[in-house]
Amino acid sequence: MTTHVPATSFVLTAIGDDRPGLVAALAAAVDEHGGNWVDSQLALLAGKFAGIVQVDLPAERAQDFLAALPALAEEVGLEVEATTGRAGEAAEEPRHVLALHLLGQDRTGMVREITTALRSQGATIDGLRSWTREAPEGGGMLFEAEAEVRLPASAQEQDLREALETIAGELMVDLELDAPA
């Protein structure tokens, strides 16, 4: 018979100058306090390592874990902040998941325009990755983004498509909205 140990869930944000060992140091701190690394998104941006990590820890070890985090800044140069999350969070209502892909000439305001259209339809963004790259044959910079979005069950996918197509026309970008691969 297994005993259920209450867990405390934290979302950690971590940032530091890129160098070997940052993820290993954070993983060691989680493990040393009996924690479980649940989910993460890690990236290198402008020479900085940046990460978001969800960890679950036994409730009785949570305060010791939080007290140990400042040492990571001193030891390896990794600043870590912890926010209490909800372990085993369930969705409040059914949602329809869609994959969004955008490609077009880079210009300011693109992310704002797209996210405003998503918000207008009640969509939430579960994940977003964006980047710029040189266009072929010296055509300037291209902006590309991929997102996973969720619509509440009460919203219509066609209404979201129409809102995004209007924005795509104004921004002169290619925009696709499909079921996730």
Mean pLDDT of 1-15: 79
- Range of the structural domain that residue 11 is part of: 7-84
Reported as a pLDDT band with limits 50, 70 and 90, residue 3 is low
The shares of helix, strand and coil residues in the chain, as percent rounded to the nearest 5, are 30, 45, 25
Quote the Cα angle for 61-66-72, to 5°.
120
Contact 99, 181 (CB under 8 A): yes
Across 11-20, 73-82, 147-156, least confident range: 147-156
* Percent of all residues in the chain with a pLDDT value above 90, rounded to a whole number: 79
Asked if the structure places residue 89 within a domain, the reply is no
Please, is 133 exposed, middle or buried when counting C-beta atoms within 10 Å of its C-beta (0-12, 13-18, 19+)?
Answer: exposed
Q: How far is CA 105 from CA 13, 37, 69, 91, in A?
A: 31, 38, 42, 36
Instruction: Output the six-digit token pair for 116.
Output: 């405003």
Verify that 47 and 115 share a domain, yes or no.
no
Residue in this structure with the two tokens 């996210």, named with its chain if needed: 115
**pLDDT recorded at residue 1:** 47
Instruction: Output the six-digit token pair for 121.
Output: 């339809």
Verify that 107 and 62 share a domain, yes or no.
no
pLDDT (tens digit per residue) in 155-175: 899 999 999 999 888 888 999
Asked if the structure places residue 155 within a domain, the reply is yes
pLDDT (tens digit per residue) in 96-145: 899 999 999 999 999 999 999 999 999 999 999 999 999 998 889 999 99
Verify that 78 and 153 share a domain, yes or no.
no
End of a domain among 59, 84, 109? 84
* Cα gap 15→128, rounded to integer Å: 18
Verify that 110 and 136 share a domain, yes or no.
yes
Contact 14, 49 (CB under 8 A): yes
